[in-house]
Amino acid sequence: MITTRFNTNILVTARKFQGKRTTATPTGDPGERLSSARLADYENQAIRRILLENYIATGSPAAFAEKIPWYVKTTLGVVFNGTSAPLPADGWMVESITTPDGKKFRRALQHQVAGILSGTERILVPTADEPVFWQEENSIFFRPSLSAEAVVVRYIRRHEDLAVLDSPSTSGRINLIPGTFTVATRTIVVNLNAALTVADVNKPFSFYDGLKVYDGFILSVTNGTTFTAGGDALPAADAAVATILISDVSPGEILLPDTYDPQIVAYMIEAAQTDHKLNQ
């Protein structure tokens, strides 16, 4: 069985309650006070609590990104049309928006939005050289209106629920013929032994360009042979994909560094104790 930090924190928390659990999976549930599912829920709650506390403490997406850079993602080649665009599917808060030539969008505060829309705002006035943006629900709004403007969006990602990892990768995928990596869009196009699907999002991969090995994860799937790559260990220029291996296990690992594990466990214990008191 693969042991991850997520699994380990479950075992550590169980021991704090005199549990004899030796596996984080449901097979270790018999005789235990806390089930695998409940402990996993506590751990995801703990991670979200840490993120929220740090955001409140830092006060802005930019300051949060400096303190918790592991949750920052950069999406290249986003095209803005009109006056709004969808927030990335895993997005929480936009940190910054820039154009390839360095033009930076200014962030509008919520109390300024009505004035921007009515044309009465006098401090933050949108112009072609200094556009503005703000977030509402799951969208990014901007002014002035744009036409096919390519931008770079940096944002804070949401914490997606992690699950106990209880099995190694089995078949995975390998390419049948060489493919290509395009740095501008971070896109890999390659024919594989099995077509890609949306279920492959977040799965890790490694590819060899003939000289070096690069690592990343599948950020989004366009079709059966094309996906957008995420990660910081990708080529800095266009590259051939001589060989690519894609694991069939989505990474069930914590993005925060292991120095946060004691705090995660402490919050898990607190959640379990609160539940116990509520159920008495």
Which stretch of DSSP H or E encloses residue 217?
A: strand 213-223
Structure confidence at residue 2 (pLDDT)? 44
H helices within the chain, ranges in order?
Answer: 5-16, 36-58, 61-67, 110-118, 261-278
Say if residue 44 is in the same domain as residue 141: yes
| Domain presence at residue 33 | yes
Q: Is 213 exposed, middle or buried (0-12, 13-18, 19+ CB in 10 A)?
A: exposed
- Of 52, 6, 1, the C-alpha closest to 27 is 1
Say if residue 9 is in the same domain as residue 129: yes
Q: Edge-to-edge, what's the strand order for the sheet holding 213-223? A: 173-174, 243-246, 204-208, 213-223, 226-233, 187-189, 179-182, 239-241
Range of the domain at 177: 173-246
Say if residue 80 is in the same domain as residue 145: yes
- Of 175, 171, 152, the C-alpha closest to 240 is 175
Residue 3: pLDDT band (50, 70, 90) is low
> Into how many domains does the chain fold?
2
| Domain presence at residue 25 | yes
In sequence order, what are the beta bridge partners of 140?
85, 135
Residue 264: pLDDT band (50, 70, 90) is very high
Site of tokens 């490694």: 206
Cα 111 from Cα 121, distance rounded (Å): 10
Q: Which of 132, 167, 202 is the last residue of a domain?
A: 167
As a whole number, mean pLDDT of residues 189-203 equals 88
| Domain presence at residue 270 | no
| Domain presence at residue 59 | yes
Say if residue 152 is in the same domain as residue 190: no
Say if residue 32 is in the same domain as residue 128: yes
Q: Is the pLDDT of residue 107 over 90?
A: yes
User: What CATH number does the domain containing 239 carry?
Assistant: 2.40.30
Site of tokens 């380990």: 8
Say if residue 144 is in the same domain as residue 180: no
Say if residue 69 is in the same domain as residue 152: yes
Say if residue 204 is in the same domain as residue 138: no
Site of tokens 């599948």: 218
Q: Is the pLDDT of residue 109 over 80?
A: yes
Say if residue 107 is in the same domain as residue 241: no
Say if residue 131 is in the same domain as residue 2: yes
Q: Which of 125, 146, 167 is the last residue of a domain?
A: 167
Cα 228 from Cα 223, distance rounded (Å): 10
Q: Which of 147, 167, 187 is the last residue of a domain?
A: 167
The strand pair at 243-246 and 204-208 is best described as antiparallel
Q: Pull the structure tokens for residue 30.
A: 């018999």
Structure confidence at residue 1 (pLDDT)? 37
In sequence order, what are the beta bridge partners of 244?
207
Q: Is 234 exposed, middle or buried (0-12, 13-18, 19+ CB in 10 A)?
A: middle
Mean pLDDT taken over the chain: 90
What pLDDT, in 10s, does the model give residues 8-64?
999 999 999 988 899 998 999 998 989 999 999 999 999 999 999 999 999 999 999
| Domain presence at residue 133 | yes
Say if residue 30 is in the same domain as residue 115: yes
pTM of the model: 0.74
| Domain presence at residue 157 | yes
What pLDDT, in 10s, does the model give residues 155-189?
999 998 888 877 665 678 999 999 999 999 999 99
What pLDDT, in 10s, does the model give residues 203-246?
889 999 999 999 988 888 999 999 999 877 899 999 999 999 99
Question: If you count them, how many residues does the chain have?
Answer: 280
